[in-house]
Amino acid sequence: MNSPLDGVRVVDLTTTFLGPYTTMLMARMGADVVKVETHDGDVLRHVGSGRHPGMGPIFLAANHGKRSVALDLKSPGGRDAMRCLLAGADVFVTNMRPQAVARLGLGPDELCSADERLVYVALRGFGEGGPYRDRAAYDDVVQAASGLAGLQGGAGDPDYVRSVVADKTVGVMGLAAVNAALFARERSGRGGFTEVPMFETMTSFVLLEQQNARVLDPDAPTGYARTASPHRRPYRTADGHLGVVVYTDKQWLAFFDLIGRADLASDPRFATITDRTRHIDELYGLLADEMPARTTDEWVSVLEPLGIPAQPVLTPDDLFDDPHLAAVGMFEQVTHPSEGDLTLPRLPLSFGDGTHAPAVRGAPRLGEHGDEVLREAGMSDEQIARLRADGVLGA
């Protein structure tokens, strides 16, 4: 089958994690993503040890499937070239701050009035309607602002999730915004502007379960007892650690029988999910006490037939040897023209016929596709040569 976004042209004016993750997902779905960079390139090009300068491993992971054009957008020639690129585009994605993008003449009012079919998606730190709108934002800052770092710290000092979880979560929201806008355009014939703010997105993400009774009562405390329990953690087994969640009535009854504590089934503290949530510390403490009695594999073998979810705790290194991920073909081998063989995770979706999106090209070298992309946009070889001679188009 064709990939879902085949034929969609995207102009990608993004850097670091959030924006590139959004547009990489689009490229994996078949979109033609043209990454517009400065002459220095996306800062991620220089993070980590790569085989060649400007081709760091995180950049390779976050930008495969794209083409690169290096333009000086502060110059008139660079802005003219950008307008040529946008004239044939379906989607424009940027995570530049509003003031900066406006100075380049690339604000939503200018672009959407020039092309009513253009889908313009702005990935921002804070929504335009509030007093934080001009503040800079990175993942750590948004984890702090959204309540996530405070939640992670529990009763102790605030702590960050050890992954750029805000960037990646908002990146998926950005993908949702693009796809929804493209679908709406199919009906109306018009694109338009969509803002995807990090702070608001992660606030919604955190509060889904943490708002709790405050959904009903503005004076009620926030928090979800199950996730707040100090005993909610990977449990130590006889030979390792296990992630296990006993949740439903049926699962708890089966677990009580398994450990020889059938009497707990009639304990009023544990009779319903409401009661168990109130007394979750006692239950999770029971789990922590029981887990060292068996090995990790033994627990998995007895819990799985009971329908109780349980998985060994893996490290990122372990994922590359996981038998399930191997069986579903999670990792692809891509041969890059300058960087050699690369291992990349595939798009973790399958479509109607059970197939996966095909592998895509490796991440581009800086400015690698400048000539071909501008030629496709309608510029002549003479115009392109002049941009290069004037230092507008980078190599």
Nearest-angstrom CA–CA distance, 118 and 90: 5
Give the tokens for residue 377.
Answer: 């946009």
Q: Which residues, at least 6 apart from 370, have a Cβ–Cβ distance to it below 8 Å?
A: 68, 69, 70, 71, 384, 388, 393, 394, 395
Nearest-angstrom CA–CA distance, 273 and 255: 15
Strands (E), the chain: 9-13, 32-37, 66-70, 91-94, 119-124, 192-197, 235-236, 241-244, 310-312, 331-336, 340-345
- Residue 351: what pLDDT? 81
335 bridge partner residues: 341
Domains, the chain:
9-205+327-389 (3.40.50.10540), 235-312 (3.30.1540.10)
Written as one letter, the residue type at 41 is G
Pairing of strands 9-13, 91-94: parallel
- Residue 211: what pLDDT? 95
Q: Which residues, at least 6 apart from 384, have a Cβ–Cβ distance to it below 8 Å?
A: 370, 371, 374, 375, 393
Are the C-beta atoms of 81 and 72 separated by less than 8 Å?
no
Written as one letter, the residue type at 299 is W
- Residue 1: what pLDDT? 57
Give the tokens for residue 217.
Answer: 């009562």
Q: In a 3-state reduction of DSSP, which class is residue 196?
A: strand
How long, in residues, is the chain?
395
Q: In a 3-state reduction of DSSP, which class is residue 32?
A: strand
Are the C-beta atoms of 11 and 91 separated by less than 8 Å?
yes
Q: Which residues, at least 6 apart from 148, have a Cβ–Cβ distance to it below 8 Å?
A: 142, 160, 161, 165, 166, 202, 205, 206
Any idea which residue has 């949530």 for tokens? 277
Nearest-angstrom CA–CA distance, 81 and 388: 11
Q: Which residues, at least 6 apart from 137, have a Cβ–Cβ distance to it below 8 Å?
A: 124, 125, 126, 145, 198, 199
CA dist 129 → 124, 134, 200 (Å): 12, 10, 11
pLDDT digits (tens), the chain, 395 positions: 578 999 999 999 999 999 999 999 999 999 999 999 999 999 999 999 999 999 999 999 999 999 999 999 999 999 999 999 999 899 999 999 999 999 999 999 999 999 999 999 999 999 999 999 999 999 999 999 999 999 999 889 999 999 999 999 999 999 999 999 999 999 999 999 999 999 999 999 999 999 999 999 999 999 999 999 999 999 999 999 999 999 999 999 999 999 999 999 999 999 999 999 999 999 999 999 999 999 999 999 999 999 999 999 999 999 999 999 999 999 999 999 999 999 999 999 988 777 788 889 999 999 999 999 999 999 999 999 999 999 999 97
Nearest-angstrom CA–CA distance, 151 and 6: 41
Give the residue among 55, 68, 56 at the shortest CA–CA distance from 27: 68
Q: Which residues, at least 6 apart from 258, have a Cβ–Cβ distance to it below 8 Å?
A: 302, 303, 306
- Cβ burial of 324 (10 Å; 0-12, 13-18, 19+) is exposed
Q: In a 3-state reduction of DSSP, which class is residue 356?
A: strand
Identify the H or E element spanning 154.
none
